[in-house]
Amino acid sequence: MTRISIDPISRVEGHGKITLQQNERLEITEARLHIVEFRGFEKFIQGRPYQEVPVLVQRLCGICPVSHHLAAAKATDMLLGVKQLSPTADKMRRLMHFGQVLQSHALHFFHLSSPDLLFGYDDEVRHRNIIGVIQDHPELAKQGVLLRKYGQEVIRLTSGKRIHGTGAIPGGINKFLSADERDYLQRDSAQIIAWAQSAVELFKTIFYQHQTYHQQFASISSHMMSLVQPNGALELYDGGLRVRKADNTLAYDHYDPAHYLQLIGEHIEPWSYMKFPFLKALGVADGWYRVGPLARINNCNFIDTPLAEEQRQQFKALNNGLPVQFTLAYHWARLIELLHCAESIATLLQDPDLLQGDLTVQGEMQSVGIGVIEAPRGTLMHHYEIDADGLITRANLIVSTTHNNRAMNESIRQVASRYLSGNTITEPLLNQLEVAVRAYDPCLSCATHALGKMPLEVTLLDQHGEVLDRRLKSTVDG
């Protein structure tokens, strides 16, 4: 048995290490993505007043803080006993979140993943980055930057800041959108939709150029979990949980997220701070699943914006309506959602409720609050319990990356099995492993609640645990 370890991953936030185990026939028997940093948000918010949580906990992440902000706000709504927000608060929060998903998806695709797709995985690392994209495809790079900027502007005008704002508060929001702010956002909304549509078309062009390769790369088969609307439509902010099994049957549908503890268990491995969630009914071995854009687009019956729905139908046709399982399809699904967000923002901006109405509503205080949302990279769960004085006594956060933990390990194993030759870790293998992780997630820091960039180290071990090779990925982009 031989084990390979990769540490750390570039263009992924956090800090990662991969260990690959080989047997005597040089086959990869196990892959472990180690998450070695620890942040401990669940512990250090204990004793803090509940109303601080939406602003405090969003500091987990600099890429999708709004999703944490809103998941925590939804949990504190429940603590306040608020079951239904005012139309103004609900729409402002949804607008804020569409801005979040738009900017994060633009960052994920254009800044972090497009270099792999445009230049190929064997391109020199000095060129295979966003600077290379700017040099070789300046118009595309500009669109990526401006798409992200637009999402950040939506966030700024709904939450007060582009990163780490305060817009969502227990029971509602703290500001309206002004008419000037609405007009400012409306000026570019048509352009943003057009660019988002171009991005989906670009991915399809790249995909069909090497269809077989893209469909086989890191491809695994898994169950998928996401929120859906009551009518089965794609949902990013609220709704019930749907779990679609790998065989396309529904294991759960419209499951109340407040009862997630009955649905999901968290397995612990001694070699990682990141837990391994699983569906309790299916057990640790068979109950793992994927979340995020791939799960959402596979799970929903339709998308309620026309251009994105047209793209979803093309996506689903790829596997004759059955779940699309290949890992690089995450990018495709991500860009369909990018388009959906652009369309949804344009629609919401026409709604007069954003400019007036009730900011907050009140209810009877409860001791448990659970907020579940679809963050850019998947289902995000915040769970808080408070004492009679309103101070946090317990917190449990299950972030998107954690849900995908087992799936990422499986994808890494698949890549290593296919591309590792002998017992030497090559630069192309390092790149392929990174690309597999990056399809899921560029920000592992939130999963361990750890701070910093994510360099990657890969170690190959033999059947006795002896190190055969070790390679550290050091790149120009961190």
Partner 1 sequence: MPEFKLDNHSVSFLEGQTIMQAALEAGLYIPHLCFHPEFKPHGSCRVCIVHTNGRYVSSCTTLAEQGAQVISEQAEVQRQRRNLLEMLFIEGNHVCPSCEKSGSCTLQSVAEYCGMLSPTLPFQFPQRKVDASHPDTLLDFNRCILCELCVRASREVDHKSVFAISGRGIQAHLVVDSADGRLVNSLFASTDRAASVCPVGVILPKHKGFVEPIGQRRFDLIPISRQQEKAD
Interface positions with partner 1 (CB under 8 A): 47-49, 51-52, 54-56, 59, 159-161, 164-167, 169-170, 174-175, 360, 389-391
Measure the CA–CA gap between 170 and 361, rounded to whole angstroms. Answer: 9
Which of helix, strand or coil describes residue 151? helix
Beta bridge partners of 223: 289
Helix (H) or strand (E) holding 456: strand 456-462
Smallest gap from residue 237 Cβ to partner 1 (A): 20
Q: Tokens in use for 287?
A: 């109950």
Measure the CA–CA gap between 211 and 189, rounded to whole angstroms. Answer: 32
Smallest gap from residue 217 Cβ to partner 1 (A): 40
Cβ proximity to partner 1, 151 vs 165, nearer residue: 165
- Calculate the CA dihedral of residues 194, 310, 328, 138 and round it to 10 degrees: -10
Q: Which long-range contacts (CB under 8 A, 24 or more apart) does 264-272 make?
A: 264/398, 266/398, 266/402, 269/32, 271/19, 271/32, 271/34, 272/32, 272/33, 272/34, 272/35, 272/36, 272/405
Smallest gap from residue 379 Cβ to partner 1 (A): 24
Cβ proximity to partner 1, 62 vs 240, nearer residue: 62
**Which of 211, 431, 197 has its CA nearest to residue 326?**
211
Cβ proximity to partner 1, 52 vs 477, nearer residue: 52
Cβ proximity to partner 1, 120 vs 452, nearer residue: 452
Smallest gap from residue 317 Cβ to partner 1 (A): 45
Measure the CA–CA gap between 170 and 443, rounded to whole angstroms. Answer: 27
Count how many Cα atoms sit within 13 Å of the Cα of residue 205 in the half-sphere of its side chain: 8
Cβ proximity to partner 1, 65 vs 442, nearer residue: 65
Contact 456, 433 (CB under 8 A): yes
Cβ proximity to partner 1, 72 vs 307, nearer residue: 72
Cβ proximity to partner 1, 167 vs 239, nearer residue: 167
Give the type of residue at 355.
Answer: L
Cβ proximity to partner 1, 105 vs 164, nearer residue: 164
Smallest gap from residue 164 Cβ to partner 1 (A): 6
Contact 443, 401 (CB under 8 A): yes
Smallest gap from residue 66 Cβ to partner 1 (A): 14
Beta strands in 387-455 (DSSP E): 392-398
Smallest gap from residue 50 Cβ to partner 1 (A): 9
Smallest gap from residue 463 Cβ to partner 1 (A): 47
Measure the CA–CA gap between 468 and 120, rounded to whole angstroms. Answer: 28
